[in-house]
Each structure stands twice: as C-alpha cells, then as structure tokens.
Amino acid sequence: MRKDLNILQRLWQRWDTRLCLLVIAAYCFAAAYGEAVFQACRMTDRSPSYNQVHEGYRYVPPAFVRVFSKTPTPVGCPLYPLGSDNLGRDVAQRLVQGTRIAFHVGIITSLIAIPLGVILACLGGYFGGRVDSLVVWLCATVASMPGLLFILAIAMVVGQGLLGVYLGIGLTTWVSVCRNVRGEVIKHRGRAYVQAAYVLGYSHARIMFRHILPNVAHIILIAFSIRFPASVATEVFISFLGIGVQGEPSWGIMINNARLRLWQGVWWEMTFVTLAIFALVLAFNHLADALRDMLDPALRTEQSN
C-alpha cells in the first residue's frame, strides 16, 4: 500500500502526469455519473433521456455555436450543450454514456485478462518444467491468432453485444500480461526470500501469491495502464463495425452515426466523440509511459502489444 502511495505522489509531482491523472479522474467522474443515470433509469423503468428522440430538433448545433450564429434556434429546443444528433438526441449525454461503456469495457476486459495472465504466469514461472511448457504453449498458440479478426470471430460466435466484446478482448490480450509477469516471476524464483519461505514450509500457493506476487505487482499495474486504453480503442472499433454494443450509445456507435451526415457539415457529433476518445487514450498512454519509466526501466524496450 505504501508503495502505491509513493507512485501516486511521484506521478502528481510532474505537471504532465498530473494533467493525465486529472483527465482520467474527470472521465471516472463522468463514467460514475453515467452509471448513476443509467441505473436510476433502469430502476424507475423510464426511458433514459439520452435515448429520447426529439424529431423536431434534429441536427441542432452546439449551444456555444448557436449563440454566435444568425439562424434562430427552434422554439422550445432543449439546451444541447454539444448539439443534437440525427434523432434529436443530446450528444453530451450520449458522450457521458459512452464513457460509461468505455470504462465497463476497459475494466471488465482487464478483470478477465489480467487475473488469467497473472495466474498462468505465476504457475508457469514458479513451477517451471512441464507446467511452464504448457503455459508457454498456450501463450504461443493464442499469440499466433490474427489479433482483431480473432476478437471479431469470438464476438461473432458468442453473439453480438457487450458480452462478446468482453470475452473477445479479454481472452486474447492476457498473453502479453502473462509473458511479462512470467519473466519477472522466474527472476524472483531463485531469490533468497523465496527459498526462506520454502524452508519455513509454506505452501506453494502461499509463496506464489503472498510472497512473489506483491514483488511483481508493478508489472501488473503497468499492464493495466497499457491494456485499458487498448481495450477502449478496440471496443470503439468493434462497435463501429456494428458487431459490438447494440442499442446503447457507445463511442463507436456514435462515430458510425455521425459519419452519415458529416459530409453535409454536421461536424459536432464526430468532433466531440473523437476528442473524447483521443483525450482518454492519450492520457492513459502517457501515464503508462511514465509508469513504465518509473517502475521498470527494463521494460521500456519491450514491445507493448
């Protein structure tokens, strides 16, 4: 716990990483707010406001544009701080819901990929021999699958929807986590503290998860900071293709929606969605770089998958 605090403090001291942390905190807040709205609507059984169609107010420009433009705003039009889309839905509210879905995807896929990778890595790295060969074989097999196409195939087989996205991304991305952690576990296996724990008669599970795992935790933290933005980006891609999220305002679906009228000058939906994705992914990528430099200089040269 003390170590984590130190990391946060060190990240806070630099202005660039502090900015990243603030951006991510803002997104977390937006995602939490979106989740609260979503759950409230679900419990009270109302149609959520971000899905409400206003046929009369389609393609209303953002509020700050309307203030300066000569064309009058239609009477009784909602505020629309970031404009409205092809069905008169509020882009700002849909963006918040998109943040919620992005966080769902980022967190749940990490919760699938990281434990899977870490457990296999601990088993393989600690026991070595046949177990290790099995783990390496599994990694090599999954790694040779053609990335995005394999994810899409899993999503297709499992069925369209968020579950397919979670499983598709989660079950293919554990390999890089596993490889990094395994290398680190092998380094620790021969150290004195592990041998001491062994001599004390501790069980293998206890040595693996109570003694070695905390010492490789920084690799897991780095893995999370790399996996999260990658998962978000992949989800946008899959949903954009119409294979992922259905019926909910995911960022990918919003881009696909905005694309149709972009050519007629409806720029706001596309711009704001793009910026939202870009800022989140950039903040995470930069933070991941900083974390890597801080925690593990040796990893810097490794290819982040």
Partner 1 sequence: MVPTTLGVLVLTFVLFHVVGGSPAEIVLGKNATSESLAAFDARYGYDTPLLFGTWAAIRALGPVPKEKLQAGPDTALFHVPLAYELPAGTYRVNAGRVLLRIRETATGEADEAMFDGPAPLSFSVREGWKAVALDVGGPLPPVLRLDKRSRGFFDSQFINYGKALLRGDFGVSSEYGIPVTRVLRTGVGPSLELTVPILVGGTLVGVMLGLLCAAWRGGVADRAVLLLSTVLMSVNYVVWVLAGQYLLAFKLRLFPIWGFESTAYVVLPILIGIASGLGRDIRFFRAAMLDEVYKPYVRTAQAKGLSGSRIMLCHVLRNSLIPIVTYVSLSIPFLFTGSLMLESFFGIPGLGNVSLNAIHSSDMAVVRAVVILGALLYQGVNLLTDLCYAWLDPRVRLH
Per the DSSP assignment, residues forming a β-bridge with 145 are none
**Out of 36, 140, 196, 205, which residue is the one contacting partner 1 (CB under 8 A)?**
140
Q: Which is nearer to partner 1, 52 or 160 (CB)?
A: 160
| Smallest separation (angstroms) from partner 1 to the CB of 47 | 26
Q: According to the binding rule CB under 8 A, does residue 158 interact with partner 1?
A: yes
Binding pattern to partner 1, positions 188-227, x when CB under 8 A?
A: ----------------------------------------
Q: Which is nearer to partner 1, 178 or 197 (CB)?
A: 178
| Smallest separation (angstroms) from partner 1 to the CB of 275 | 10
Q: Which amino acid is at 4?
A: D
**Out of 118, 135, 152, 169, which residue is the one contacting partner 1 (CB under 8 A)?**
152
Neighbouring CB atoms inside 10 A of 206's CB total 12
> Which residue blocks in 202-267 are alpha helix, DSSP H?
204-206, 213-215, 217-240, 251-262
SS3 for 84? strand
SS3 for 58? coil
SS3 for 45? coil
Residue list 241-270, contact with partner 1 (CB under 8 A): 241-243, 252, 255, 259, 262-263, 270
| Smallest separation (angstroms) from partner 1 to the CB of 19 | 13
* Binding span for partner 1 by CB under 8 A among 62-70, 93-101, 116-124, 236-244: 236-244
In the chain, the largest separation of any two C-alpha atoms, in whole Å, equals 82
* Consecutive H or E run containing 180: helix 162-189
Contact yes or no for 15/303 (Cβ under 8 A): no
Q: How far apart are CA 138 and CA 124, in angstroms?
A: 11
Q: Point out which residues bind partner 1 (CB under 8 A).
A: 137-138, 140-150, 152-154, 156-158, 229, 233, 236-237, 240-243, 252, 255, 259, 262-263, 270, 274, 277-278, 281-282, 285-286, 289, 300-301, 303
